[in-house]
């Protein structure tokens, strides 16, 4: 059963050069307990996809086409107050900077208890017990003693754990984690990754994990969606996409990542840069940089074809076996 489906989603912004599509024709789905990674260069549209799902696109941006369903219910057409109730209760969010997600003048406990009470309608003492339990689950030592202290009294890694507890304590079905480990050290990052995976396994929460770090994707996600210039160009299981990428962009990307072990003289690199939204070429947006492009590529845009476990948007990959 799928928890969330996004179909042909386009988000448009009016701008100097006319309306531009920040993301175009994005389709994806995610099941309970699944971790879906989203990777791509900065500006590819990862955060915008997440923002559309939680209903936080900043005006004048708007959903210009497509639909989003959560457990069968259409959520892209809800009124702001209805969406506000879904946010927090059924969809949680974790952002990159733990300090901006926490209120510095409230204790960690006050923030957790308020969230739990708002969404789960529990009496104060039960909410407090749950808050302590969440702190323990995310690995805060001595949570009974820590709960009444302020965010600045926690280290960076601990604050990010609190943010995770805050996103999960209302027991949402889906969590959107946008670069949740980018600001953290590798050793702390490893703990957060392990934590997200454990919680997905234990509570059945589904996670959309946005990051540009392929290592994090490899160690955390079940499936991965690769975005380029506002579109998903490849989706598949982590093992398949990372070890046998099919889209020429994904291939170039994987090859360009330095590895521990191999020490080539020159790293393979993709020449050029990703086009800005108003300057995307007709046809395949990757064509100007693609080493294997053919004539049709600069005329016709390739569709994402295949199925949820493996699809690719490339004229050369039409023969992906079903």
Partner 1 sequence: MSDPILTVTGLKKTFDLSQPFLTRLTQGGGRKYVHAVDGVDFTIPRGTTLSLVGESGCGKSTVAKLLMGLTQPSAGSIRFDGHELAGTRAGQPPAVRRRMQMIFQDPYASLNPRWRVARIIGEPMKSFGTHPDPVARRKEVDRLLEFVGLSAADGEKFPHEFSGGQRQRISIARAISTKPEFLVCDEPTSALDVSVQAQILNLMRELQRELGLTYLFISHDLAVVNYISDQIGVMYLGLLVELAPADRIFAAPQHPYTRLLLDTVPDITMAHRDMDRPAGEVPNPITPPTGCHFHPRCPLANDRCRSEAPAFRTRGDSHVRCHAVEEGRTDPMPLRKAG
Ligand X SMILES: Nc1ncnc2c1ncn2[C@@H]1O[C@H](COP(=O)(O)OP(=O)(O)O)[C@@H](O)[C@H]1O
Instruction: State the binding string over 82-101 for partner 1 (x if CB under 8 A, else -).
Output: --------------------
- 153's CB contacts (< 8 A; 6+ apart) are none
Instruction: Select from 277, 293, 306, 311 the one that contacts ligand SF4 (CB under 6 A).
Output: 293
Residue 302 contact among Mg ion, ligand SF4, ligand X, none, beta carbon within 5 to 8 Å by kind = ligand SF4
Query: Where does this chain bind ligand X (CB under 6 A)?
Result: 13, 22, 40, 42-48, 58, 61, 277
| Cβ–Cβ < 8 Å for 283, 292 | no
322 binds partner 1 (CB under 8 A): no
Instruction: State the binding string over 235-274 for ligand SF4 (x if CB under 6 A, else -).
Output: ------------xx--------------------------
CA–CA separation, 24 vs 46, rounded Å?
Answer: 12
| Cβ–Cβ < 8 Å for 116, 169 | yes
CA–CA separation, 206 vs 55, rounded Å?
Answer: 17
105 versus 260: smaller Cβ distance to partner 1:
260
Least Å from the CB of residue 216 to partner 1: 5
Least Å from the CB of residue 316 to ligand SF4: 5
Least Å from the CB of residue 10 to ligand SF4: 20
290 binds ligand SF4 (CB under 6 A): yes
Residue 22 contact among ligand SF4, Mg ion, ligand X, none, beta carbon within 5 to 8 Å by kind = ligand X
239 binds partner 1 (CB under 8 A): yes
Measured between alpha carbons, how far is residue 83 from residues 47, 61, 89, 160 in Å?
A: 18, 17, 10, 25
Instruction: State the binding string over 173-202 for partner 1 (x if CB under 8 A, else -).
Output: ------------xxxxxxx-xx--xx----
Instruction: Select from 33, 219, 281, 320 the one that contacts partner 1 (CB under 8 A).
Output: 219
Least Å from the CB of residue 247 to ligand SF4: 6
Smallest Cα–Cα separation from 29: which of 58, 71, 65? Answer: 71
212 binds partner 1 (CB under 8 A): yes
165 binds partner 1 (CB under 8 A): no
Residue 157 contact among partner 1, ligand SF4, Mg ion, none, beta carbon within 5 to 8 Å by kind = partner 1
Instruction: Select from 10, 47, 96, 111 the one that contacts Mg ion (CB under 5 A).
Output: 47
Binding residues for Mg ion, rule: CB under 5 A, are 47
Binding residues for partner 1, rule: CB under 8 A, are 41-42, 139, 155-158, 185-191, 193-194, 197-198, 212-220, 238-239, 242, 252-254, 256-261, 263-270, 273
């Amino acid at each position: 059963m799928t928890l969330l489906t996004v179909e042909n989603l386009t988000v448009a912004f009016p701008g100097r050069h006319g309306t531009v599509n920040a993301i175009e024709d994005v389709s994806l789905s995610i099941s309970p307990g699944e971790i879906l990674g989203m990777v791509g260069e900065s500006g590819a549209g990862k955060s915008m996809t997440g923002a559309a799902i939680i209903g936080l696109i900043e005006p004048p941006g708007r959903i210009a086409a497509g639909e989003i369903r959560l457990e069968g219910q259409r959520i892209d057409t809800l009124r702001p107050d209805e969406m506000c109730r879904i946010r927090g209760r059924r969809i949680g969010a974790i952002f990159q900077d733990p300090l901006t997600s926490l209120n510095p003048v409230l204790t960690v406990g006050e923030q957790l208890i308020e969230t739990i009470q708002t969404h789960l309608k529990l009496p104060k003492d039960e909410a407090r017990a749950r808050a302590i339990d969440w702190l323990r689950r995310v690995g805060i030592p001595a949570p009974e003693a820590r709960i009444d202290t302020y965010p600045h009294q926690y280290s960076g890694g601990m604050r990010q754990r609190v943010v995770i507890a805050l996103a999960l304590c209302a027991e949402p079905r889906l969590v959107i984690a946008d670069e949740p480990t980018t600001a953290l050290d590798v050793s702390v990052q490893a703990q957060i990754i392990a934590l997200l995976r454990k919680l997905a396994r234990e509570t059945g929460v589904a996670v959309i994990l946005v990051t540009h770090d392929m290592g994090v994707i490899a160690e955390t996600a079940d499936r991965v969606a690769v975005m380029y210039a506002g579109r998903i160009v490849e989706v598949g299981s982590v093992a398949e996409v990372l070890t046998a990428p099919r889209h020429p962009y994904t291939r170039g990307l994987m090859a360009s990542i330095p590895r521990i072990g191999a020490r080539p003289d020159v790293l393979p690199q993709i020449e050029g840069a990703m086009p800005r939204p108003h300057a995307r070429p007709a046809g395949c947006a990757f064509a100007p940089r693609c080493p294997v492009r053919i004539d049709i590529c600069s005329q016709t845009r390739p569709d994402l074809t295949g199925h949820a476990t493996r699809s690719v948007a490339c004229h050369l990959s039409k023969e992906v076996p079903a």
